[in-house]
Amino acid sequence: MSRYRVTSLAEHEWRYGAVPPCGRSGRTRPERLIDVVEASGLTGRGGAGFPTGRKMRSVAGRGATVVVANGAEGEPASSKDRLLLARLPHLVLDGITLAADAVGACEAYLCAHRRETGLLDLLRDAVAEREAAGIDPVPIRITGIPGRYVSSEQSSIVQYLNGGPGKPTFSPPRTHDRGVRGRPTLVNNVETLAQVALIARYGDRWFRGAGLSSAPGSMLVTVSGAVRRPGIYEIEMGTPAGQAVMLAGGPAEPLQALLVGGYFGAWLPARIAWPVPMTPAGLRAVGGALGAGVVIALPAASCPLSETARVIRYLAGESAAQCGPCLFGLPALADAVADLAYHGGRRAGTGPIAALIRLTEGRGACRHPDGAGQFVRSALRAFTADVGRHDRHGPCRAIRRAPLLPVPGDEDRDWDWT
């Protein structure tokens, strides 16, 4: 965190102005901000891409509610939320205060991984600065949550804040009906809330000035892999995936594919991925997902199957082990993909892997098995030639190349769910 300079409250207000009196505390009716956010067309930047205004409306006007800002970035290849929180904490905190005001919240939380103590300290300092200035009518509590992949799912966060383990729950009840302390709860990604803070200041027409009419605004993307300047970039919604790679300095060596959307996203052959617009619909159309805006460039010299095998093994280990089909299905799927990548030569085709995906999809309380299945299915589709070669002749030499996709080691995992 020390690499980044935190923007102080004074600097923040000099740059953006004070928090606009948009909601309950302002002259206009409390729902005014929700109208503006709805008109802006902002969608969630955490992965699901749900319309933010509609989500706020489903919680508003139902008595005392709760706002939760989700900064627990579970995706190993994403770091945009950490960067945003570390550089511009007050923009996110403004968004929390505005959202709390608009939905009538009596409590607000900002959650990040509990092992990121530097980030949590920085956020507590930022909240203290605001408390001294009397900015936030609803107190914002900074809370560290378990750092597991599924712990940043919204029902996991709610269950954790209610004193339970950071694991997904069965729904209904959904968090917007019954969340923290049984109150209707708005869970938004921190980038989404930062966008809310900008929309409250500059308006929905300003927001629509960037991006597409069907997917307006800008988004943060984390570009990594074989690119010259890996990092976090802001792009307009609808920017082609290839342009995101070019922003990051372009390919560092010849590429064969992009992984777009992270580990619940999809592999796309480079030629297909290059023009694909970075929007939820654009990526859905090619069998992928926008997710939290992760783009990883895979070199032609890498083995895509061994990369996929490592990630699906990681995802299998990240199951909360609550639902049978995920608990047993994902390790079986990881075994099958590892067998194809590292042994191969069985001439079994992709049938056994496809059958395991079908056996796990849609059968968990959360979408963990579905995301993992989509990821493996995209590998079978994008790398048919590699799949065929491994299946007929055994593994390629590239399996010995140093792995590219980041997978946390056991020493970096948070083993305690409670």
Partner 1 sequence: MSYRLRINPIACDGHGMCAELLPEIIELDRWGYPILRSPTVPPVMAAHAKRAARACPTLALLLEPATGTHR
- In the complex, the residues that contact partner 1 under the rule CB under 8 A are 169-170, 172, 322-326, 328-329, 359, 363-365
Least distance to partner 1 from the beta carbon of 327, Å?
Answer: 8
Task: Tokens for 158, please give them.
Answer: 């709610």
Q: Is the peptide bond before 89 cis (omega within 30 degrees of 0)?
A: no
How far apart CA 67 and CA 188 sit, in angstroms, is 8
Least distance to partner 1 from the beta carbon of 363, Å?
Answer: 6
Give DSSP secondary structure letters for 16-56.
H-SPP--STTSSS-TTHHHHHHHHHT-B-SSSS--BHHHHH
Least distance to partner 1 from the beta carbon of 339, Å?
Answer: 17
Task: Tokens for 180, please give them.
Answer: 């923290």
How far apart CA 292 and CA 375 sit, in angstroms, is 15
How far apart CA 390 and CA 325 sit, in angstroms, is 27
- Compare residues 166 and 277 and give the one whose CB is closer to partner 1: 166
User: Of the candidates 236, 290, 208, 238, which has an alpha carbon nearest to the alpha carbon of residue 37?
Assistant: 208
Burial of 35 (0-12, 13-18, 19+ CB in 10 A): middle
- Compare residues 12 and 167 and give the one whose CB is closer to partner 1: 167
Least distance to partner 1 from the beta carbon of 356, Å?
Answer: 9
Least distance to partner 1 from the beta carbon of 415, Å?
Answer: 20
Helix (H/G/I), strand (E/B), else coil: 166: coil
- Compare residues 13 and 177 and give the one whose CB is closer to partner 1: 177
- Compare residues 170 and 206 and give the one whose CB is closer to partner 1: 170
- Compare residues 6 and 365 and give the one whose CB is closer to partner 1: 365
Contact at 8 Å (CB) between 320 and 167? yes
- Compare residues 231 and 325 and give the one whose CB is closer to partner 1: 325
- Compare residues 139 and 182 and give the one whose CB is closer to partner 1: 182
Contact at 8 Å (CB) between 298 and 404? yes
Strand order in the sheet with 294-299: 231-236, 218-225, 294-299, 255-260, 266-269
Residues found in the chain: 418
DSSP label at residue 51: B
Least distance to partner 1 from the beta carbon of 320, Å?
Answer: 9
- Compare residues 7 and 169 and give the one whose CB is closer to partner 1: 169
Least distance to partner 1 from the beta carbon of 168, Å?
Answer: 8
DSSP label at residue 399: G
Least distance to partner 1 from the beta carbon of 143, Å?
Answer: 23
Contact at 8 Å (CB) between 338 and 313? yes
Give DSSP secondary structure letters for 218-284.
EEEEEEEESBSS-EEEEEETT-BHHHHHHHTTSBSS-EEEEEESGGGSEEEEHHHHTT-BSSHHHHH
Least distance to partner 1 from the beta carbon of 64, Å?
Answer: 23
- Compare residues 208 and 363 and give the one whose CB is closer to partner 1: 363
